[in-house]
Amino acid sequence: TPTGYGTPLAEGKETRRIDGRDYVLEYPIHADFALIRALRGDRWGNLVYRKTARNFGPIMAAAAKCTIAQVREIVNLGDLDPENVVTPGIFVQRVVEIAAAARLMAPPGAAA
């Protein structure tokens, strides 16, 4: 990234000049597990997101060794429009459907 070049964040890190612009090299993010939320998914793990769930869900799905996706609805294969699939199933190992009632329940002892 060129953003941190010349700042204290770049101290001790490898830098390179590419096409006349200086960059700080960073290691990629890795995770053993990623727990992500999506709007819909199929049993192969193809995922469609809604709103801010799209911010980090796809990135973490690609970075993790094992991705578990919580979806509102598991749909049949072929029901997701390929143009809307953000995370392909190759990055998802498990898909769990959470019923609407379970999403709306308050935790024990929480104020109503």
CA distance 85 to 88: 7
Average pLDDT, the chain: 90
Residue range 1-8: mean pLDDT, rounded: 85
pLDDT at 106 over 80: no
Own/partner pairs, 23-30, CB within 8 angstroms, 24+ separation = 26/1, 28/63, 29/59, 29/60, 29/63, 30/63, 30/64, 30/65
Q: Which of 3-12, 25-34, 85-94, 102-111 has the lowest mean pLDDT?
A: 102-111
pLDDT given at position 47? 98
Q: Which two structure tokens, joined as six digits, stand for 68? A: 């578990």
Give the global pTM: 0.74
pLDDT given at position 77? 95
Q: What is the pLDDT of residues 66-89, one digit of tens each?
A: 999 999 999 999 999 999 999 999
pLDDT at 63 over 90: yes
pLDDT given at position 2? 84
CA distance 39 to 9: 37
